[in-house]
Amino acid sequence: MAASSGSEYFEIDMEGDMFQRQGSWGMDAPEAREDERELMWASVERLPSVRRQHFAVVQRDSQSSFSQAQSLPFEVVDVRRLDRAARERVLNKAFATTNQDNYNLLSGIKSRFDRLLQPNRPTLTILDNVSGVIKPGRMTLLLGPPGSGKTTLLLALAGKLDSNLKKCGEVTYNGCPLNKFVVQRTSAYISQIDKHIGELTVRETLDFAARCQGASNNWAECLKDLAKLEREKNIRPSPEIDAFMKVASVKGRKANLATDYTLKVLGLDVCSDTMVGSDMVRGVSGGQKKRVTTGEMIVGPRKTLFMDEISTGLDSSTTFQIVKCMLNFVHQMEATVLVSLLQPAPETFELFDDLILLSEGHIIYQGPIEKSLEFFQTIGFTIPSRKGVADFLQEVIFDSVPFMY
């Protein structure tokens, strides 16, 4: 059986009707050629969706001969029945050039997508005219409803913002812009998405993170300078603290004391030898996996942390314990920590020093947490009795809720 070129005729049966147009069309009449193509394209569009993808309107080859409507410049072909010569003809017409240059073809494909996608793509402003200062030695809470821009703000401060986003303004660390130093060695962003190697245990995961971040090297450098100053001033350190710092500074060990410290602080010591797990491997619980994500970042030497929704999957008591440990780290080591929480418990809320309220990309309030209620009282919003402060502040910045207060 001979192969079909798919173009012996250009008749399409559409619910009993036949599209067949005969007549003499001059090849030098552009308008007539365009009208003929539009008629054929309309006939294809009238087909059911399942059949429509199998028919195409192509320009007739000047060298070919056909039994019907030979003078017509265009034809409708069944793409499933094209032979090799017909496929090459379609390719040559799409290339639209005699050279081996695919620019016209790729440009046409991109243009087809752009006509549909780009005009309907809205411009969304995620953060609008945001400015402020996050001070070291103070624990800062970032509150806001979903979609307010909390994650984008944390990523921008950590220097991990998507390069495809249009942005203006500047982020500085102690007055130094991000392009003047390696911000990844100074700060850490703790994501709300848990990504781990499921076959590693919890301890192995944190040990690997500690070695990648140089936790032992940091302790060794600090201990070397500290011991020199203590000898000069004839100061004897506490034996327990000296032993801890010396053990943590040991390099080249598979296990590190910084890992043990992080496991104990996050309450992961009970599952340290359990695999983290994945979709295919059974492992620790969701709350424990969330704490592993936090531990991977705080096990290193970084003193600037941006923590995004670390309470997801955790009970209020575990969240309180983690925030309390981070508070001690901030106050004692003069660290800078910005924590995003969705709905903190009252006892957790009271641990923070400063507050940033974010709504629809705008900062509504930034300042000491104890003065937040006073600020809203001055603009007419008073907290009801037996209402949590965190819940009140988040409800006030909703568009549909402030009338209640």
| Closest residue by Cα to residue 63 from 23, 5, 12, 21 | 5
Q: Mean of the per-residue pLDDT values for the chain?
A: 79
Is residue 192 domain-resident? no
* More confident call, 345 vs 120: 345
> What percent of the chain stands above pLDDT 90?
11
Minimum mean pLDDT range among 57-61, 290-294, 314-318: 57-61
pLDDT in tens, 254-279: 667 788 888 888 888 888 899 999 88
* More confident call, 7 vs 91: 91
Tell me how crowded residue 69 is: count the other CB atoms within 10 A of its CB: 19
**Pair 277, 286: CB distance under 8 Å:** no
- Residue 355 has a pLDDT of 93
342 and 263 in a common domain: no
Q: Is the pLDDT of residue 23 over 60?
A: no
267 and 338 in a common domain: no
Is residue 3 domain-resident? no
CA separation for the pair 276, 285 (Å, rounded) = 8
Is residue 278 domain-resident? yes
Span 21-34, average pLDDT: 56
Which residue, chain included where needed, has tokens 């506490």?
238
402 and 313 in a common domain: yes
pLDDT in tens, 38-74: 777 787 788 888 788 888 877 776 555 444 444 566 7
- Residue 119 has a pLDDT of 58
pLDDT in tens, 130-178: 888 999 999 999 998 888 889 999 999 988 888 888 888 888 898 888 8
Q: Which amino acid is at 16?
A: G
22 and 112 in a common domain: yes
- Residue 382 has a pLDDT of 84
pLDDT band at 14; cut points 50, 70, 90: very low
pLDDT in tens, 198-240: 899 999 998 888 888 877 666 677 777 777 887 888 888 778 7
- Which residues have C-beta within 8 Å of that of residue 316, sequence separation ≥ 6? 345, 347, 348
175 and 324 in a common domain: yes
Domain interval for residue 353: 128-186+303-405
Is residue 222 domain-resident? yes
314 and 258 in a common domain: no
- Name the domain count of the chain: 3
Span 82-99, average pLDDT: 80
The last residue of a domain, from among 92, 117, 142: 117
- SS (HEC) of the chain: CCCCCCCCCCCCEECCEECCCCCCCCCCCHHHHHHHHHHHHHHHHCCCHHHHCCEEEEECCCCCCCCCCCCCCEEEEEHHHCCHHHHHHHHHHHHCCCCCCCHHHHHHHHHHHHHHHCCCCCCCCCCCCCCCCCCCCCEEEEECCCCCCHHHHHHHHCCCCCCCCCCCCCCEECCEEHHHCCHHHCEEEECCCCCCCCCCEHHHHHHHHHHHHCHHHHHHHHHHHHHHHHHHHCCCCCHHHHHHHHHHCCCCCCCCHHHHHHHHHCCCHHHCCCECCCCCCCCCCHHHHHHHHHHHHHCCCCCEEEEECCCCCCCHHHHHHHHHHHHHHHHHHCCEEEEECCCCCHHHHCCCCEEEEEECCEEEEEEEHHHHHHHHHHCCCCCCCCCCHHHHHHHHCCCCCHHHC
Span 309-322, average pLDDT: 84
155 and 96 in a common domain: no
Q: Is the pLDDT of residue 183 over 70?
A: yes
Is residue 123 domain-resident? no
- Residue 306 has a pLDDT of 92
pLDDT band at 30; cut points 50, 70, 90: low
307 and 290 in a common domain: no
397 and 332 in a common domain: yes
- Structure token digits, residue 206: 């944190």
99 and 20 in a common domain: yes
Is residue 191 domain-resident? no
Q: Is the pLDDT of residue 352 over 90?
A: yes
108 and 50 in a common domain: yes
- Residue 11 has a pLDDT of 45
pLDDT band at 8; cut points 50, 70, 90: very low
**Pair 339, 142: CB distance under 8 Å:** yes
- Structure token digits, residue 309: 């929704």
